[in-house]
Amino acid sequence: MKQSFGLKQSQNLALTPQLQQSIRLLQLSAVELEQEILQAAQENPLLEFDSSLDDEVYEPIAQLSHRSVAPSKGVVDSEVDEDRFARIASHRSLLDHLLEQIQLLRLKTQEKALVGLLAGNLDEKGFLNESLDSFIPEILNFLDLDDGTPLEQLERALSHLQHLDPIGVGARDLSECLCLQIRNASLPASRVHQLALQICQHHIASLAQKDWAKLKRQLKANQSELDAAVAFIKTLNPNPGISFEAPQENYIVPEVIVKKIKGAWRAIPNPAAMPKIKIHDEYAQILGTSKNRDNSEGIQQKLQEARWLVKNVLQRSETILKVANAIVDRQQNFFNHGEVAMRPMVLKEIADTVGMHESTISRVTTQKYLASHLGTFEFKYFFGSQISTDSGGSVSSTAIRALIAHMVNAEDTDSPLSDSKIADLLADKGYVVARRTIAKYRESLRIPAVHLRRK
């Protein structure tokens, strides 16, 4: 085979650094964008940046999902804010709490070390998920075998750990956790106490399924005794380590605010989410009048990068606002009547409206939020599949979920609605929904099955 040189022309799609930056900024949340710009301003002296997130009060979200979040109740008092940071600063972990108690135990140093080893392997709930056998290779060379086999010494160490405060730590599962608390309860032994212990030891699955008939049969107890035992079990703590979990406060910054303007809902920019970024005027003016272009080549590059960033940040805000208004225009009924009026919508519909690709819409709607009188919602919340109606129309799956939740909340607890019954009730309203779809939506709403909702 003969080798030779030749020229060949071809066309390739290449992403310029400016376009790459634009795409990256578009998929960042408001908080992440703030951090990105702050880092850029630290590296580029030609950027002038005023952080607004430090001066504003935003809505703390304890548990964030695609569902609605209650709106903020207003500005937080500075004293409350100081107390919050004081709690974080003074936080003490479960391990710290246990180690303090271990130091006070009247045990040999080696035994204290074993108890501390087990305490250090507890999860955030205070449970020991590792088997005792798994610790043996790690400690074998440090044990005095005159005190018993490695497993026997670990079992004694676990017993000491399970007697520490809070009662229930060191349990291997929920059943053991509850049993530890029942045995240590400062109550006289009684029929209720014994029934509660039997349920937690041997019938925890029946308790979870609320199979009262089976429990009464297995325990040979009447209804009042069973009710008292279950009420006692409900006073126990299935998560003994919860009070030692580090306090977490997640914040979101809505990109837009939805308001009614001239009878229609419109999205307007949230001033707090607009980064205050610009080119440093004084430095730019000096560069513009500088005659020594060769020595300022590196600074000119910094100036160009600063201009790119300012332009891309502005373009990001314009794109988000355009997409937000396209969403709000199609969901006017939602903002007027709530979830039950949500209309089905897909990314392609918005992409065609604003003249962008679906992948761009996907980036824009991820981790971007809008604030309204109904709460704070992620853009993606407004997209969902559709359900057919008898009239040939369609309704959003979100609306169906809202109807299911409303029906369950209004049901008779003595005779709760089955999935089939809910499907029949929806059919009466003109919505054709299969029973298995009802079950899927019910589970997504974390609504228990019918037998678990029965009083």
In sequence order, what DSSP letters do the residues of 318-375 get, joined into one string?
Answer: HHHHHHHHHHHHHTHHHHHH-GGGPPPB-HHHHHHHHT--HHHHHHHTSS-EEEETTE
Q: Return the bridge partners of 252, or none.
A: 59
The boundaries of the domain holding residue 402 are: 386-453
Structure confidence at residue 81 (pLDDT): 47
Helices (H), 127-173: 136-139, 150-161
Token pair for 331? 């969901």
Structure confidence at residue 398 (pLDDT): 85
Q: 184 with 292, same domain?
A: no
198 within some domain: yes
99 within some domain: yes
* Amino acid in position 186: S
Structure confidence at residue 61 (pLDDT): 38
Domain count, the chain: 4
- Which of 168, 330, 304, 288 has its CA nearest to residue 236? 168
Q: CA 285 → CA 46, 246, 290, 300, distances in Å? A: 11, 50, 9, 12
Structure confidence at residue 168 (pLDDT): 92
Structure confidence at residue 249 (pLDDT): 59
* Greatest Cα-to-Cα distance within the chain, rounded to the nearest angstrom: 98
Structure confidence at residue 180 (pLDDT): 92
- Which of 441, 349, 440, 364 has its CA nearest to residue 398? 441
Domain with residue 399: its CATH number is 1.10.10.60
Structure confidence at residue 28 (pLDDT): 84
CA 265 to the chain's CA centroid = 29
432 within some domain: yes
Structure confidence at residue 324 (pLDDT): 95
Domain boundary among 132, 161, 190: 161
Structure confidence at residue 5 (pLDDT): 67
9 within some domain: no
CA 110 to the chain's CA centroid = 41
> Which class for 212: exposed (0-12), middle (13-18), buried (19 or more C-beta within 10 A)?
middle
Tell me if 46 sits within 8 A of 284, measured CB to CB: yes
pLDDT tens profile 298-343: 777 887 888 888 888 899 999 999 999 999 999 999 999 988 888 8
Give the residue ranges of the chain where pLDDT is below 50: 53-81, 84-89
197 within some domain: yes
